[in-house]
Structure 1
Amino acid sequence: MTSGVGRRPRIAVPARFSERASALRYAAEVTSRNLVEAVWAAGGEPLVMHPHAPGGEADHVEVAGRLEMADGVLLPGGGDLAGRWTGQPEHPTLYDVDVEQDAFDLAVARVCLERGIPLLAICRGLQVVNAARGGTVVQDMDHAYGEMRHHRHHRHHIEVEPGSLLGQVVGLKVEASCYHHQCLAELGSGLHVVARAEEGVIEAVELGGSPGWFLGVQWHPEDTWADDPQQLALFRALVDASR
């Protein structure tokens, strides 16, 4: 889909279910203000989508139809994926699991990759893409890497693969703001690593042969975009690809 003259590219952002929000009396659907402000600052029009997949069953055709209004998609962070999607037993530390949220996000990822809709996947969003491509996740990083290597409230420098799309967008060195206790394990079909943390955690992937623009990052560029041009560049790249 092409954007009209003078119109901001429409970037769809699936909402996150929340049991409570301080300004509301009931359960809510929310998104990160930092995230939508980053999309806006990059020149996009963020549109928050209602996740609809009752009982953990998404209608692929329906989701594809709903995404016809979008020029690009941003799959954001959030709670953990249920083990059923990657064929793994569920670790006791999983939190905020919601199979309707999972099923909707998975359908969005598949539609984007099949139809070439520009897609930026962040943290959980990257894990969703990996699951959609048949990959698995490390369900608890403290158990896999040790508590001294956890990635919650953590910043570190990572090196990016030369010649990668990510390298073209942010350069070959970037400071990543991390908040996650899951990460990628076995890679899904077609995905390849373009950045890792020093202990080997996968920090970014790309997809070979994709019909559209795609980047997946494990860190949260929305945390620091206002002060770090490299992080804002990720959102600008998505918006530019969506024009």
Structure 2
Amino acid sequence: MTGDRPLIAIPARFSASASALRYAAEVNARALIEAVWRAGGEPLSLHPRAPAAPAEVAARLARFDGVLLPGGGDIAPHRYGEDDAHESVYDVDDEQDAFDIEVARHALEIGLPLLAVCRGLQVVNIALGGTLHQDMGGEHRIHRHIVHPVAIVRGSLLERVTGEQKAIASCYHHQRVARLGSGLTATAEAADGTIEALELPALPSWFAAVQWHPEDTAHRDPVQQALFDAFVHAARVRGRDPW
């Protein structure tokens, strides 16, 4: 922890270009960074390096108080046992996949507070043996560029954090959870049955995963900002005060 701000590791995303740079870049969404900062965290981008040996990932995460797995491109279908990729699968990067999956596994294993967003939720599901629907069924069934209500399960961490049983979610995804990974429970759903949030009830440490992008509206929606606030609080008190 640096001062009063817990250190939050956010694996960067590979980008072919960035407007302020001349070459390929490693990036994170500014809205995501600012949501963590508003919550009192110190967000730091983590270089995704493969092969992602468990010992190396453990050493790199040792200095951090929490991990945020952000959105991004699709995960290679072979990571969840499917040989053929649907034509809609995009921006697959095996180096990124290997790193994110090992980060998720290690954070869960050692009890590092973990918030997973969109792709991040899918990474956690795959890390725990779950699968994805590679495509939700065509142009009119995907959750891309839409804002819609999601129903939150009573008694879930998500309900305790937000104080709500319904949230208005900003979504950008064409894939969704198929089979749940080991120990995971769905704690929010869209009207079409898409799983929108996951938790691990048996896990003693703080963990929440949402399929939507809370950072999109967190600057004006206290329900979305509350997710970042609770996550950063858990990182701040880790090992001293259970959530």
Deviating 4+ runs (over 2 angstroms): 146-149
Q: Is the 8 A contact 2:9 2:68 kept in 1?
A: yes
Aligned to 2:239: none
How far did residue 210 of structure 1 move? 1.3
Asked if the contact 2:142–2:175 (Cα under 8 Å) also holds between the matched residues in 1, the reply is no
Q: Give the CA deviation at 1:7.
A: 2.1
- Are 1:9 and 2:16 an aligned pair? no
CA-CA distance at 1:23 after TM superposition: 1.3
Q: TM-score, normalised by structure 1?
A: 0.94
Match of 1:147 in 2: 139
| Superposed CA RMSD | 1.0
Q: Do the aligned residues in 1 keep the contact of 2:6 with 2:65 (CA within 8 Å)?
A: yes
Q: Secondary structure at the match of 1:216?
A: strand
1-structure distance, mates of 2:202, 2:140? 37
Contact 1:115 1:211 in 2 (8 A): no
Structure 2 residue aligned with 1:50: 47
- The aligned residue for residue 152 of structure 2 is 160
TM-score (norm 2): 0.94
- Cα offset for 1:211? 3.4
Q: CA deviation at 1:134?
A: 0.3
More helix by share: 1
* Contact 1:135/1:186 (8 A) holds in 2: yes
1:20 matched residue in structure 2? 17
- Aligned-partner Cα distance in 2 for 1:184–1:69: 31
The AA in structure 1 aligned to 2:131 is T
Alpha-carbon distance, 1:67 to partner: 0.2
Residue-by-residue CA offset, 1:3-31 (whole Å, 9 max, x unaligned): 47x42011100000001112111111000
Q: Does 1:134 align with 2:129?
A: yes
Q: Determine if the alignment matches structure 1 residue 70 to structure 2 residue 48.
A: no
User: Within 1, Cα distance between the matches of 2:19 and 2:232?
Assistant: 31
Total equivalences in the alignment: 234
One-letter identity of the residue aligned with 1:216: A
